[in-house]
Structure 1
Amino acid sequence: MRTAAILLLASAFVAAHGPGGDDEAAPEAAPAAPVAAPAPAPVASSGKAAPAGCKAVLGDANWPANDLFMSAMPNVINSQVATAGRLAKRHGPGEEGADEAPAPAGVKKPTFRMNAKTVADVEAAVQFAAKNNIRLSILNSGHDFLGRNDAASGLALVTTNLNGMKISDSFIPSARGDAQVVPGAPINTMRIPATRQAYVTIGVGLGTQALNDALAPSNLFTLGAAHGPVGVAGGWAQTAGHSPLGRHFGLGADVVVEYQVVTADGKLKIANAVSNPDLFWALRGGGGGTYGVVTQATIKAFPSPKMTLTAFFMNTTKYEDTDSVYAPAAKFHNALPAAVEKGFSGYYYLYRNAIKGAFVSINENANGAYANATWQPILNNMLTYPGMSKDLLVYQTQDFPNFKAWFDEVFGAMGEMHKRDVNSPRSIARSIFADETLKRRHGPEGDAPAGDAAAETEAGGITPMASRLLDASALNNPGLARALKASMPTTPMGQLRGNVVGGGVISRGGADTSVHPAWRRALVHLISTTSTQEQPSAAALRAISPASGSYANEGARDEPNWQQAFFGANYNRLLSIKTKYDPEGVFWVTPGVGADLYAVKDGRVCSAAANGSMPLLSRSAPNTDSNKFSGGDEEADTTSFPILMGAQGPYPNPAMMPATPAAGEAPEGSMEGMGEGDMGGMDMGASGAASAPPAAATKPISGVEGTMGGTSAEGHSHGNAADSAPMAAATKPISGVEAPMGGAAAEGHAHGN
């Protein structure tokens, strides 16, 4: 147990301190003199125009000249330097920055890049792309695991700088729409009664953490991704938008009451219940980058709840035992429907030899006693299975007074321009969610030029994964254990990531959104992913959930029957809306609605007719023209990924496995024989202190029904890039480490994205 805790802390240190382990804020450098970007090497024209029905690419006779780009969009950047294979990026109008590190060999990118700062910029970019028949890709916060925010040519439109915000106590839909928010303008505050909701209008570039930081002075919060930098109004909410508290408040698509969007004609449109209602319906679940460029949204906000985090970690007795974990894992899944019913939600990881999870409960259920009564019987039962270690169990609960305190503990507070506060206290609670890969995927924080968040926004590339939405029936399917094993990637670092983010309010919504209907039945979104370019498979999960689907933001590029899998019965209606507002295919993402109308031919996007075929209900979506891959989930516990929960402790390794104890002796770190007198004063108060660990972890808790079939299974993993305090040796603090578990530390301030 002590070894595991030390490893947890070690991995947390790397993520919290940033590249190179720096613990001090770097001194501000004097402004550098503008450096002219190198001129791009000329590209010889082929002398031929793009084939009929195909987008023009650099080198075609009908590719627009550079000065046409510049005159139509004064802020545009020529992003390719052919002789060096590097990007030259402009930091602002008239100011050139040094070019970046070379792109990976062979990776192609859009030829020009527009960092939009106004709606007029967006309109100009869309009009130019449509008029000149070039590829247009939309980049917001850079988080798209299917690579749909990048292309091999054309124009990249970056919307990160559209990040204004205002709070209102009411909203009435109208054809005029809400007033446009202004980036950089002061953000208002207001007090809303605890029984009411508010509304917040945000620019599309505003990220989850920045949004909730700004809402906190009004004691409000709203739904967002389980990773701070992800834009709320972009592809996250436009595709469904799952979150740790969705069970209580709905999906991201459910809470949007208005979008403002520039469509393929280059004009801003208001989309709400009374203005362009068909477009509004499509934008609430039909996928990002498909119907237009969203510039702002108005969404519901809610009184900030009290929260309790519960985290655990267990593994097989032998590291090489990669079979024993699936039977207890199936029982864990059996218990989840009852846990959701009791108000829990969150996240878990299943490895070939370990299971870990982090779940939240809120308001009247936000206390350690409630969490313990739910989780201890479940975990006790799992530990009785053959092959599971009885003594290496990390278990901890922690209270938070409001959403921001919890989110800061999970992600760490953010300062100016998303700079990580490296000098703030680090709660021991963050050690269970350390994540180095997330930092590597999204880059070090704080390196954007002042006032230009878009300058550091880059597409992350394609990440191999496969997923399935699982309802209560699938979670109790007799073949679940076999399906879990079959879905586990074959590489040593393969993992299944479970998002317990359904049920409750989500199951009762949906009539006015285009979210896949399977979301209204699902309790778990389960993802298979790995550290390599191995393409995982969800075939076994599909077999136990034939009427369900997958999530288009976190699914397989080669998902079979992709229209049904990603959009369900809504696909045909979505396609008719797509062709109404974008008849010429200005916007194209794959997989996405209308992807089957086009295909890549000789490196360019062409209509299906130009490819000599007609669109059909194809088995797999057309390939994209982007060839940038993320390299897989590169770390043991990567969470370059959703953005869910940072690595909750290290990936299981042999050093973590306990030594075999002498006959009749409880292993060091076991919970056997621990009574109240051994709890070291750790009780569960509202201050954010850690609760007592499970007493006699291998025995049912007295008076608590501990069946794994569901009645006492009430935990939902919650996890983001945070760390929750592990229980070293069940009740002992880690030697030499100060563990500030009191109130202030519960609102930790180190940021790790």
Structure 2
Amino acid sequence: MRRRDLLKTALSAPFLPLAVSWSMRAQGAILPSSRVRPGDAGWPSPAQWETLKAQVGGRLIVPASPFTQGGAAEAEALKYIGSQNLYYISDEPGLTQTSGWFGAWTSQPSRYAVVAESAADVAAAVDFARKHHLRLVVKGGGHSYQGTSDAPDSLLVWTRHMREIQHHSAFVGQGCERNVEPQPAVTLGAGCLWMDAYHAVTTLGGRYVQGGGCPTVGVAGLVQSGGFGHYSKTFGTASANLLEAEVVTADGQIRTVNACNHPDLFWGLKGGGGGSLGIVTRVTLRTYDLPNFFGGVGGDIHASSDDAYRELIARFFAFYQAELFNPHWGEHVTLRPDNVLSFTMMFQALDAAAVERIWAPFLDWVRAHKAYSFDSPVGVLTVPAQHLWDGAYFKQHFPGHMRFDDRPGAPAWHMFWDGEQSEVGRFIHGYRSAWLPAKLLQPDLRGSLTEALFHASRSRSIELYFGKGLAGGSPDALAQTRDTAMNPQVLDAFALAILGSDGKPAFPGMPGARIDDELVRRDIRDLDRAMDILYRLVPDAGSYLSESDYFLRDWQARFWGSNYARLAAVKRRYDPDGLFVIHHGVGSETWSADGFTPVTSAHQT
């Protein structure tokens, strides 16, 4: 696969002192130990594994892919992957939501897994891994595109069973009693998925918590990666709303971190990436009063010619800048090679009449020109805010908009949006992302934006996620997100551009799984062509670490910008020997790509 290396020299310059620091440590006398694998002299004996098993209450398992087990396990996997059930995979320690990435990784179970039910279980696993020089990974929801939720020959800390939820009417962080005003909040165990949180906080509790748009993503992983939802321009990122976290650090200590206790580590957990600085066992997030309504607007507009499509793109972004570039609106628009502009926009605190008034001028313009037609009619869906994640309400009023966990005994609230089912086990061909600065919406630069998006869409569909850029957001959303470890570009971006390609599930050993190498390579070439155009428009564009190119060379600058040096200092303080290593995670420069061997090059990827 072609690897990106754009602007490497220019972008690496600000990080030269940091690179030297890492390199000097790697070349010194205290080089961290290599990880051991089964069969190596240092691999724990059966008796030692039994000791760990006793420490964690017998919850040490050997995870296995159902496609290597065969029989009933394989039949069950084929059934629920066939029915595209995201929740099934979340509950399988031997599988991940993505089955792999071409030329990068394939889903392979860890050698052992601790089924953690408490922070003490996690601490026992961390101590064991440190003592025996094991590769350690953590899985909550298992949605990592980068393959960080499992690793062959590793010890997995599986947090899915840590699902406790506690509501607070007036939360104050530990040690912050004199410094912080009490505020409503919710504490969520690391094993909670966002649908668990939305059900408890919104459907039952009548409040809002900022989480992800996909309800089967794990709570802890999303918070640590930054985390966007439909309404991030209103409420900020998920990490911006973190008030406190319980985390097990590399020394096996269970720490409660917040703005008053270990504030450097607390800041690092807010967007520094999951699995790099410690293992988060629970998070406490602020909650908000609900608006009156949540809702969405969707449709598909087809242009009859390339010139008409250019004009449609220009008109849409003029409309977006004038009417939608504010805290009420989020979600995305897709620009397709077949000259279709598809939009799914979500809103809050507006009723249906207001939404129709806002959209009328743009839609009237479309209808007035024969060059355009609607491939699907424009629809407006408005729900009382408390019912946005209420399965019973959707079944009654909007059947077909939601899909449900079809396993016997599944919780009634386990649902996900229709359209997300394609993520079940998908095999990634390639993926790219880039933040687009808000200045491109101004009249003098909008033409350049239009031309770049038009030409890029000739090769590959482009999705622009408006809630994944904070420009145009509320003052509170901007202020709270500014105090996170994310790339500061997110504050000035009106959207995150995403380009991707994937195929059907291709788990190792899965019957009928097939990867068409020629098709994949063609998709990658198309992605590269489209991304080259966006980089010409915004050469230094940052990339969202959870939705990015696996092969990104200048990932430190693209993911974290000027915040990387500070994150690296946090890493050195709390994990000096690099127990926690993930692909393109903080400090991973000093480890081989598989995370098993320390290296002397600070530029190892």
User: Is 2:354 the counterpart of 1:370?
Assistant: yes
Change (3 A) 1:310 1:69: same
CA separation in 1, counterparts of 2:381 and 2:207?
21
Q: 1:465 aligns with which of 411, 423, 431?
A: 431
CA contact (8 A) 1:145 1:463 kept: no
CA contact (8 A) 1:213 1:404 kept: no
CA separation in 2, counterparts of 1:121 and 1:342?
41
User: Is 2:289 the counterpart of 1:309?
Assistant: no
Task: Give the AA of the match of 1:401.
Answer: P
Alignment of 1:613-624 (within 5 A): 614-616=601-603, 622=605
Alignment of 1:181-192 (within 5 A): none
User: Is 2:257 the counterpart of 1:286?
Assistant: no
TM-score between the two structures when normalised by the length of structure 2: 0.75
Q: 1:59 aligns with which of 16, 23, 39?
A: 39
CA deviation after TM superposition for structure 1 residue 55, in Å: 1.4
User: Is 2:530 the counterpart of 1:543?
Assistant: no
CA separation in 2, counterparts of 1:81 and 1:228?
24
Alignment of 1:204-603 (within 5 A): 204-215=190-201, 216-232=203-219, 234-316=220-302, 325-338=309-322, 339-341=324-326, 343-353=328-338, 354-363=340-349, 366-382=350-366, 388-405=371-388, 408=391, 409=394, 411=402, 419=410, 433-438=418-423, 440-441=424-425, 464-476=430-442, 477=445, 478-488=447-457, 490=459, 494-501=460-467, 502=470, 503-505=472-474, 506-532=477-503, 533=520, 534-535=523-524, 536-537=527-528, 538-600=531-593
User: Is 2:141 the counterpart of 1:156?
Assistant: no
Change (3 A) 1:84 1:166: closer
Corresponding position of 1:118: 118
Task: Give the AA of the match of 2:463.
Answer: R
CA separation in 1, counterparts of 2:274 and 2:414?
37
CA contact (8 A) 2:437 2:493 kept: yes
Change (3 A) 1:559 1:226: same
Corresponding position of 1:606: 597
CA deviation after TM superposition for structure 1 residue 70, in Å: 2.7
Aligned-partner SS, 2:146: coil
CA contact (8 A) 2:95 2:109 kept: no
CA deviation after TM superposition for structure 1 residue 107, in Å: 5.7
Change (3 A) 1:171 1:379: same
Alignment deviations for residues 217-244 of structure 1 (CA, whole Å, 9 cap, x no partner)? 3311211111112122x12111211111
Count, aligned residues = 503
CA separation in 1, counterparts of 2:449 and 2:33?
47
**Any gaps of 5 or more consecutive residues in structure 2?**
1-30, 74-90, 395-400, 504-519
CA contact (8 A) 1:77 1:112 kept: yes
CA contact (8 A) 1:147 1:461 kept: no
Change (3 A) 1:118 1:87: farther
CA separation in 1, counterparts of 2:69 and 2:542?
40
Change (3 A) 1:466 1:324: farther
Q: State the superposition RMSD in angstroms.
A: 3.6
Select the structure of larger CA radius of gyration: 1
CA separation in 2, counterparts of 1:573 and 1:85?
45
CA contact (8 A) 2:209 2:287 kept: yes
Aligned-partner SS, 1:479: helix
CA contact (8 A) 2:242 2:285 kept: yes
CA deviation after TM superposition for structure 1 residue 86, in Å: 7.1
CA deviation after TM superposition for structure 1 residue 263, in Å: 0.5
CA deviation after TM superposition for structure 1 residue 483, in Å: 2.3
CA separation in 1, counterparts of 2:359 and 2:250?
51
Change (3 A) 1:337 1:132: farther
CA contact (8 A) 1:210 1:414 kept: no
CA contact (8 A) 1:117 1:162 kept: yes
CA separation in 1, counterparts of 2:480 and 2:95?
46
CA deviation after TM superposition for structure 1 residue 565, in Å: 0.6
Alignment deviations for residues 275-322 of structure 1 (CA, whole Å, 9 cap, x no partner)? 10100010011111110000001110112222242423224366xx67
CA contact (8 A) 2:95 2:107 kept: no
Higher fraction of strand: 2
CA deviation after TM superposition for structure 1 residue 266, in Å: 1.2
Corresponding position of 2:147: 147
Task: Give the AA of the match of 2:43.
Answer: W
Aligned-partner SS, 1:170: strand
Corresponding position of 2:7: none
Task: Give the AA of the match of 1:316.
Answer: H
CA separation in 1, counterparts of 2:269 and 2:94?
35
Aligned-partner SS, 1:316: strand
CA deviation after TM superposition for structure 1 residue 547, in Å: 4.6
Change (3 A) 1:392 1:78: closer
CA deviation after TM superposition for structure 1 residue 214, in Å: 1.3
Higher relative contact order (CA 8 A, sep 6+): 1
CA separation in 2, counterparts of 1:79 and 1:149?
13
CA separation in 2, counterparts of 1:335 and 1:585?
49
CA contact (8 A) 2:295 2:348 kept: no
Alignment deviations for residues 691-740 of structure 1 (CA, whole Å, 9 cap, x no partner)? xxxxxxxxxxxxxxxxxxxxxxxxxxxxxxxxxxxxxxxxxxxxxxxxxx
CA contact (8 A) 1:326 1:482 kept: yes
User: Is 2:48 the counterpart of 1:68?
Assistant: yes
CA deviation after TM superposition for structure 1 residue 421, in Å: 5.0
CA contact (8 A) 2:434 2:498 kept: yes
User: Is 2:181 the counterpart of 1:198?
Assistant: no
CA separation in 2, counterparts of 1:391 and 1:554?
30
Task: Give the AA of the match of 2:282.
Answer: Q
CA separation in 2, counterparts of 1:98 and 1:521?
39
CA separation in 2, counterparts of 1:77 and 1:173?
35
CA separation in 2, counterparts of 1:98 and 1:271?
30
CA separation in 2, counterparts of 1:288 and 1:262?
12
CA separation in 2, counterparts of 1:101 and 1:512?
35
